[in-house]
Structure 1
Amino acid sequence: LVLSLPAAAVACPFCNAQTKTLSEEIDSSDVVIIAKLVKGPPIEAVIAGSADAEATFEIVQILKGGDALEKNSALIGLAPDSPKRPRQSRQIRVLYFGQQPVGTEFLVFGVDPKKVQWTTPNALSPRAVKYVSQLVGLPKSGADRLTFFQEYLEDDESLLATDAYDEFARAPYAEVKQLKPRMHREQLLKWIKNRDVPASRRRLYLTMLGVCGQADDLAVLEQMIQSSDRQVRTALDAMVACYLILKGPDGMPLIEDLFLKNKDAEYTDTYAAIMAVRFLGQETTAVPKERLLAGLRAMLDRPQLADLVIPDLARWQDWSAMKKLVELFKNADEESSWVKVPVVNYLRACPKPEAKAYLAELAKLDPESVKRANSFFPFGAAAPAVPADKATAKQPQVPAPDKSGGAASDAKPAKANGSSGSKSDKGPKPGQSSSNDRAVVVPALIGAVVAMAEQTAAPEESAERPAVQQDPTTTTLDNAEVANPEAASDGESRQTAQAAPPGMVPATSRRVREPEANRWQVAFVTLGAAGALFGLMFTILRRN
């Protein structure tokens, strides 16, 4: 139940997908078509936002679910078994509140295989139609898939640029590295230098440059890292990682002097550098692990921020810092008292006999802190890290602190270093990855939770689900004069500005048997809530 620091990165380590990709939308739908608008909805119905705002669309291309359309009367005015049914004149009526001209092509998703409902149509340009049409034929993963999306990064059409970025943001880092021979290095450099490129995308391009970059690129990176312009240093975490991958161990002194050893460095910059060091230690061999650890140990001379790296030291089994950490515990004041619990967990994880002796000594000095560590983290410290060259995709993954890759280095929280301010004035550290990254469990709760679950479990019963109003943002084949039972999806997750008013649950009057309550499900849900509560309590204790 204890969460360790991140193991091998599942996706782009510094990227944050903005939305569901078009491919994911297609996979989760049962029918996907490209249809042309042949008759717009009545203007009065559009203005009123009523369910009568139906437009007529002609199916141009079936991307998925063709069998479902063929098996059912999915054509207006034609019987399902009509042998002369013209394939290119198939039409459907769909709820649509937009103002696009007749002839515009749309992407439309169909949901519910037994009673197809069409989600809000999304207008496509001719280039977007070509793009979407190719998605269904792409490999499910690998460099060949990424090669396709690479050509649409920073595309003039927002839909294509966003979808391409999201595909890279979800791709495993190992697959991004496989793309190296096909990456456009010069183009990546232009985007990285462009102030108009959003920080999230710049992180991706810096990650890619770390794969395909050359020594000639180091001067540009060093200039950006040392710039006093925060806009230039946007995406600092990915920037530092890219720099260290290309520079190797020789790049560590610059990063240490600017962000790790420098007590005047802003908290967000320091945290960004720590994120980069973590990534290198887990995903690459560009800098030896011992050299990375030396950089992290420099943070121990900044007691107020030392707790950021103590879990990393334990996870990478660096026991050389034991004496230093014990001194931090003993000398902790109001500004650094939160370092105590991580130190205790470090000692608990250490297999050396002197660690037990130190624990006993600290328990006499501050029994409350040791008790808190044992209570909040009863199963000990983080599991040992898996070396980058031995990590596999099968290992459990835990998202890295501040997975957005940017909040930590782009936000501007109150300064938190040894020079000024008190901890209570600064608030929680963004994306902090010390003790707050762990699940909180109190063993004494388990018996009470299980007992409560047993009392909560209800006998099996059946219930009649009352019919409710039809969702006006979806159109059933019945309503559209089209009967096509065979398609399902997760709803209208990609609605545009033309979306209909908020809808309601689709009607159903089917008799459903409610499952028997599962006491363990109840127990785990309650444990999760208790964990969140104690996590909040622990945060308050740290700040006080």
Structure 2
Amino acid sequence: MSIPSRIRSAKFRYSLVVMCLALVGGYSFQTAVVACPFCSAPSLTLAEQVNQSDAVVLAEWQSSERGTADEASQTHLKIVAVVKQSDNGLKKGDEIVLNRFRSAEKGQKMLLLGTSGETSVDWDSPLDVSDLSYDYIMQAPAMEVPTTKRLEYYIQFLEFPEELVANDAYAEFANAPYEDIVPLADKMPREKLREWVLAAYSDDPQDQIRAATLSTRMGLYGLMLGLCGKDEDAKLLEEKITEQKTDFRLGIDGIMAGYLVLTKEDGLKVIEDRKLKPSAEVPFSETYSAMQAVRFMWNYGDERISKERLRQSMRILLERKELVDLVIGDLARWQDWSILDRLHEMYGAEGYEIGAIKRAIIRYYLSAIQAGSKDDADEDAQNVAAEAKNYLDDIREKDPKTVEQAERFFLLD
């Protein structure tokens, strides 16, 4: 393969990294994320919507008319209960007319959330509710209640038969920091979590819809099973991880993280052998997910796996050219200075010619120099900084433009 072809190939693999980031919700490389690390992108929960609304009413659908060229569509509803208002004068029995068409059966209950305008309430689209889902919304703990306490309420509604409730309960967890989920380990529905993990990624045509829904939540459920699980659950998670799959599996990173939480260094060896080490049989997405799980253990693992052992795992990925710039960045943040020589040899070598990799190597050396320049730096850190400076000076002489670019953005970081 020619050098231009290799560079185009590497750029294509980079696009896969970006695609994976979008699919898994854009996990941050720089800092620990605020919301659940392996959940889909957080959405506004029902409790948050109610909290942010000026007016909230329960209403019943009465009728609707489609608009004409001269008149707008209309939907008529009758207020059954006023949940919240701000001097809007709303009361039970009042009619609300929406300038939009919404069909329903007479008496269908709907939740209306609105914002106070100058003379009236601007209502959002009605939300169909049943008696059960309305009670779920009304009985939810206030936003001021500590997150862990609030999640105790929502945990019982995960995978609830009514879709509105199940989706919202999941969203509450997806929005919650991992640190607030951990204390719920003894309250987690272990047997149900096992059932959901087993059902996800099913190839049975009759299970496709449920499996598709569950797969979007596996990041959370896999992690939860790791927090509350037993030895037999570790075996189940390992079976899921090591399945031979070629399709992208949403949430498999959370399953891997839950597995590592439960099995520690023993499980890390399995992840290394089956997902991290170069192999044509392992899809890129699976390796990337394994890398995310290793990162998770660094940020949240609470020393279940030693920092040095995690560095060792990350170094395996230096062989993956499509990931190497990300790996170098992680190792710099983790202050792993054991690869100073290796990166100098790698700079500009065949397969590593693209700018992003070169800049990552330069930033690695800059990080080492910065760490060794601090007032409290010990002799080892100072020696590392001196060696890094020598390598950087050599690169600067050969490739001054790339060094200048990397230094400029390094200062911005």
Look up the equivalent residue of 1:354 and give its one-letter code.
E
Distance 1:136 1:185, change over 3 A: closer
Distance 1:96 1:236, change over 3 A: same
C-alpha deviations, 1:77-122, integer Å up to 9, x for none? xxxxxxxxxx643333333522212222110112125432223322
Tell me, yes or no, if the aligned pair for 2:226 and 2:257 is still in contact at 8 Å.
yes
C-alpha deviations, 1:235-283, integer Å up to 9, x for none? 2211211111111012222111222222423221211111111111011
Tell me, yes or no, if the aligned pair for 1:9 and 1:283 is still in contact at 8 Å.
no
- Structure with the higher helix share, 1 or 2: 2
| Shift, 1:342, TM fit | 0.5
C-alpha deviations, 1:11-65, integer Å up to 9, x for none? 110112464211221122100111123x3123xxx16487554344332222211
Query: Residue 317 of structure 1 is aligned with which of 324, 332, 335?
Result: 335
Instruction: Show the counterpart of 2:359.
Output: 341
SS at match of 2:78: strand
| Shift, 1:155, TM fit | 2.0
Distance 2:41 2:162 in 1: 17
Instruction: Show the counterpart of 1:7.
Output: 31
Query: Within 5 Å, which residues of 2 pair with 1:37-116?
Result: 37=61, 39-42=62-65, 46=66, 48=68, 52-65=72-85, 67-69=86-88, 72=89, 74=90, 88-115=92-119, 116=121
Distance 1:49 1:275 in 2: 55
Distance 1:204 1:280 in 2: 15
Query: Within 5 Å, which residues of 2 pair with 1:159-198?
Result: 159-194=164-199, 195=202, 196=211, 197-198=213-214
> Equivalent pairs: percent with the same residue?
34
Distance 1:17 1:329 in 2: 36
Look up the equivalent residue of 2:271 and give its one-letter code.
I
Distance 1:232 1:220 in 2: 20
Instruction: Show the counterpart of 2:14.
Output: none
Query: Within 5 Å, which residues of 2 pair with 1:424-503?
Result: none
SS at match of 1:252: helix
C-alpha deviations, 1:275-323, integer Å up to 9, x for none? 1111110112221111000011112234453222001111011111111
- Identify the structure with bigger relative contact order (alpha carbons < 8 Å, sequence gap 6+): 1
Tell me, yes or no, if the aligned pair for 1:36 and 1:105 is still in contact at 8 Å.
yes
Instruction: Show the counterpart of 1:223.
Output: 239
Does residue 127 (structure 1) correspond to residue 132 (structure 2)? The answer is yes
Does residue 142 (structure 1) correspond to residue 159 (structure 2)? The answer is no
Instruction: Show the counterpart of 2:44.
Output: 20
Distance 2:185 2:283 in 1: 34
| Structure showing greater Rg | 1
SS at match of 1:93: strand
| Shift, 1:8, TM fit | 2.7
SS at match of 2:35: coil
SS at match of 1:34: strand
C-alpha deviations, 1:304-348, integer Å up to 9, x for none? 532220011110111111111111115344666642110100001
Look up the equivalent residue of 2:102 and give its one-letter code.
G
| Shift, 1:187, TM fit | 0.4
Look up the equivalent residue of 1:109 and give its one-letter code.
L
Look up the equivalent residue of 1:221 and give its one-letter code.
L
C-alpha deviations, 1:108-141, integer Å up to 9, x for none? 1121254322233222122122122223646544
Q: CA RMSD in A?
A: 2.4
Does residue 240 (structure 1) correspond to residue 259 (structure 2)? The answer is no
C-alpha deviations, 1:446-502, integer Å up to 9, x for none? xxxxxxxxxxxxxxxxxxxxxxxxxxxxxxxxxxxxxxxxxxxxxxxxxxxxxxxxx
Tell me, yes or no, if the aligned pair for 1:255 and 1:273 is still in contact at 8 Å.
yes
| Shift, 1:360, TM fit | 0.5
TM-score, with structure 1 as normaliser = 0.61
| Shift, 1:225, TM fit | 1.2
Query: Within 5 Å, which residues of 2 pair with 1:287-436?
Result: 287-329=305-347, 331-333=349-351, 338-350=356-368, 351=372, 352-375=385-408, 377-379=409-411
| Shift, 1:362, TM fit | 1.4
Look up the equivalent residue of 1:379 and give its one-letter code.
L
SS at match of 2:338: helix
Distance 1:25 1:369, change over 3 A: same
Distance 1:361 1:15 in 2: 44
Instruction: Show the counterpart of 1:404.
Output: none
Distance 1:319 1:207 in 2: 31
Give ranges in structure 1 of 5+ residues lacking alignment. Answer: 75-86, 383-544
Give ranges in structure 2 of 5+ residues lacking alignment. Answer: 1-27, 203-210, 373-384
Distance 2:251 2:164 in 1: 23
Does residue 250 (structure 1) correspond to residue 266 (structure 2)? The answer is yes
Look up the equivalent residue of 1:348 and give its one-letter code.
L
Distance 1:202 1:303 in 2: 28
